[in-house]
Every structure is written in structure tokens, then in C-alpha cells.
Amino acid sequence: MKFLEKYRNWLIAFVFAVAVIAVYKTFDNISNILKAIGTVLGAFQPFVIGFVIAYLLNIPAKKIEKLIGKAKNKHISGKARGLSILSVYVIGVIAVALVLWALIPALYRNIMDLYNNFPSYMSIIQNKINNFELLRKLDIFGDEGLNLNNRIMALFKSINWAQFGKYAQGLFGFTSQILNVFIAIISSIYMLLEKDKLYRGVKRLMGLIWNQTTVNKITEYARTVNEIFTNYLYSRLICCVVMAVVCSIVLSIMKVRYALILGIFIGAMDMIPYFGSIISCVVAILVTIITGGIWKAVWAGIVLLVLQQIDGNVLGPRIMGNSLEISPLLIILAVSVGGSLFGFIGMLISVPVVALINVIAGGYVRELEAKKEKKCEE
């Protein structure tokens, strides 16, 4: 002990030096470490996908299970969980098949029409830009004006096609992992069947690490997280589907070209609060200007603006309720920061994450206030 006390400072310095070297080596080989982590996580990919599927299907499965559990026939009510899971998957497969059956032919026609008319649309865009008075005065593109064909060819020449081959090979590898899809579906079924056992197992494991008060608090926060995420995801998905269907129908009635593609795009972008509706509306107007003229684009813009206002101020609040009680300014900030840090995925999950942080921070502040009041009373 005296020896350790004598060389205590030297030992601390040695441990600190070893820690610095370890950290340096970690960052120096960060690519190899991340690659190794990616390989390990890749092995669990089917189970992660299975968990996501089970998580998304849990709510409809629970509702169907309650309905079947009320059946007078004990044999049926006793198999409520299995029958509810079977019903959810059958309904899901039928829904996907119907959507694909209805959309693929129309989408194919739209895409082929766009492909055939793409050169003429490029010429229209080029002529409109070159004839724009302000751009001509500023002489941005020089005396020859904008030549989109040359710029597109230059863009193709600048692409590293060898690297593109690697991406294509990776895509082929991804599409060939059909076995992983089946494993994910099967694992999701077992997760739904044994969710009570999984919940009890996780709770027992937490009980070995923390005391009961902490476990209860974590469980309460986890329940809040689940409510926020499921409510947000389902409400946004419903709004997106409604917007996609309504916009496709309305634009088709207005005889806007590529109405189906634009409707699906508007519905998909509706997942991103505020920015998504603005981007999709601008794109739809620009496409309509090129394919149908300025006045059709003006009317399409007005109609889309009205539909998006109904979605944002009537449909969204009715479906979502008041579960995300955060200010619009905070939502805009969350979407901006999430998009800049994590791209499109960051935009999608930024709002529920901020809502979750808001709930946790609010609970923590309330606990501190309660402790402060208790001390004042004493």
C-alpha cells in the first residue's frame, strides 16, 4: 500500500497516457472499427427489420385481439392473439397486392410518357430560361445561353462509373437477400406472439441492474416513448395516404399530366412537417408549368395550397390530437437540424424525437420543482 501511495501520481499519469493512446488508436482506425461494428450489426439485420415490422403491426394486432377476445366461443377467444396476428398479416398482404395491382400499370404509363417526352421538356425549360429577361441582362450563361444538353452530358462524364458499378453491385446484393426478408417476417410473428414474455424478461433484467423505483420510472418513460412514436407514425401515415389519394384524383380531374406521380410524391413528402408540403407544391407547380402551361399551374397551385391547409389545420390535428404539444418554431428547428445532421431520415424522425425530449425534460423539471417545494415546506 505504501508503494502504491508513493508512486500514485506516476500510476495516474501512466493510466492517463494509456487512455490517450487507446483513444488515438481508436480514432486512427475508426473506419476499420466501424466496418467491424457494421458486420456484426449486419448479422442482426433481419431481426432488427422484424422488430420494426412487429412494432408497426402491434397496434392493429392489439385492437383485433380485443375484438376476437370478446367472442362468445371460448375456442376462438382463447386463440385471440394468434388469430389477430394472422388477420393483420393477411390484411397487410392483400392491401399491398391491391395497391401494387392498381398503381403499377398507371405508374408505368406515366413513367414511359415522361421518358418519351423528356427531350421536349428539356427544350421547353431551356427556352424559358434563355428568354427570361433578368437572366439575359445579367448574362449569367453567356452569349450562347443555357445549353441543358451540354450540361447533362458534362454531368454524365463527371460521374465515376467504376464507383457506380460498386453501388449497382451492392444494390444487387441487397435485392438478393430474399432469405433475410423471410427471416424478418417470421421473427416479427414470434415477437408479436411472445411480446409479453419479452417484456417480462427485459423488466427482470433491468431489475438486476437498478432498483424498483428506477425500473418503474424507465418503464413509464418507455410507455410514453411508445405512445408518442406510434401515434405520430400512424397519424402521419394516414395523412400521407389521404393526401396522395386526394391530390392524385384532383390533379387527374384537372387533367394535370403525371397526376399519379405528383400525387404520390406530395403524399410521401407530407411525412416531413412544413418543408415537405412546400417542396412538393413547388415541384408540382413547376412540372405543371412545363407540361400544361402557366394558368393550369396557377390553378393547380391554388388547389394544392387549399388541400395542404386542410391537411395541416383540420385533418392532421383531428387524427394526431394533442399528443405532440410542441410549438411550430421548435418543429421547424427540429426538422432543419435533423435534416442537416442525418438527411431525409433525420427530417422524418426529428419531430417525435423532439416531442420525446420535451416530455422527458418536462417530467424532470416537474420533479425538481416538487423537490424544491417539499424543501420549502419543511
- 289 lies in a domain? yes
User: 262 and 332: one domain?
Assistant: no
Whether the pTM exceeds 0.85: the reply is no
pLDDT score of 41 more than 70 = no
C-alpha angle 44-46-187 in degrees, rounded to nearest 5 = 110
Q: Which of 31-35, 112-116, 309-313, 338-342 has the least mean pLDDT?
A: 31-35
**Which stretch of DSSP H or E encloses residue 61?**
helix 45-69
pLDDT (0 to 100) of residue 333: 77
User: 359 and 374: one domain?
Assistant: yes
User: 309 and 331: one domain?
Assistant: no
pLDDT score of 9 more than 80 = no
Q: Is the CB of residue 76 less than 8 Å from the CB of residue 91?
A: no
Task: Grade residue 22 by pLDDT with cuts at 50, 70 and 90.
Answer: low
Domain stops at, among 321, 346, 370: 321
Report percent pLDDT > 70 for the chain.
71
- 221 lies in a domain? no
pLDDT: which is higher, 58 or 25: 58
Give the span between the Cα atoms of 272 and 350, in whole angstroms.
Answer: 9
pLDDT score of 137 more than 60 = no
Give the span between the Cα atoms of 187 and 313, in whole angstroms.
Answer: 39
DSSP codes, 324-369: ----HHHHHHHHHHHHHHHHHHHHHHHHHHHHHHHHHHHHHHHHHH
pLDDT (0 to 100) of residue 302: 93
User: 302 and 340: one domain?
Assistant: no
Domain stops at, among 288, 321, 354: 321
Domain stops at, among 296, 321, 346: 321
Region of residue 159 (phi > 0: left; psi between -120 and 50: alpha; otherwise: beta): beta
User: 314 and 328: one domain?
Assistant: no
User: 330 and 315: one domain?
Assistant: no
DSSP conformation class of 308? H
User: 266 and 328: one domain?
Assistant: no
Mean pLDDT, residues 295-321: 81
Mean pLDDT, residues 205-227: 82
- 235 lies in a domain? yes
- 97 lies in a domain? no
- 129 lies in a domain? no
Q: Is the CB of residue 284 less than 8 Å from the CB of residue 294?
A: no
CB atoms within 10 A of CB 289: 19
**How many domains, in total, are found in the chain?**
2
Give the span between the Cα atoms of 184 and 378, in whole angstroms.
Answer: 57
Q: Output Rg (C-alpha) for the chain, integer angstroms.
A: 28
Give the span between the Cα atoms of 81 and 66, in whole angstroms.
Answer: 9
pLDDT score of 366 more than 80 = no
Give the span between the Cα atoms of 272 and 295, in whole angstroms.
Answer: 28
For residue range 152-202, list pLDDT tens digits in order.
666 555 555 555 555 555 555 555 567 777 888 889 888 888 888 888 888
Outline where 145-211 has alpha helix (H): 148-158, 161-175, 178-193, 195-209
Q: Which of 24-33, 197-206, 306-315, 362-371 has the least mean pLDDT?
A: 24-33
- 136 lies in a domain? no
Q: Which of 69-73, 188-192, 298-302 has the least mean pLDDT?
A: 69-73
pLDDT score of 372 more than 80 = no
Task: Grade residue 146 by pLDDT with cuts at 50, 70 and 90.
Answer: low
The domain in which residue 332 lies consists of: 324-378
- 208 lies in a domain? no
Burial of 351 (0-12, 13-18, 19+ CB in 10 A): buried
- 273 lies in a domain? yes
pLDDT score of 133 more than 80 = no
For residue range 253-298, list pLDDT tens digits in order.
999 988 888 998 898 888 877 778 888 898 899 888 888 888 898 9
User: 262 and 282: one domain?
Assistant: yes
User: 265 and 312: one domain?
Assistant: yes
pLDDT (0 to 100) of residue 20: 63
Task: Grade residue 10 by pLDDT with cuts at 50, 70 and 90.
Answer: low
Q: Is the CB of residue 348 less than 8 Å from the CB of residue 268?
A: no
Mean pLDDT, residues 51-65: 87
- Across the chain, mean pLDDT equals 76
User: 281 and 338: one domain?
Assistant: no
User: 308 and 341: one domain?
Assistant: no
For residue range 89-102, list pLDDT tens digits in order.
999 889 888 888 87
pLDDT score of 367 more than 90 = no
pLDDT (0 to 100) of residue 98: 84
Q: Is the CB of residue 357 less than 8 Å from the CB of residue 333?
A: no
Q: Select the highest-mean-pLDDT range: 160-169, 232-241, 247-256.
A: 247-256
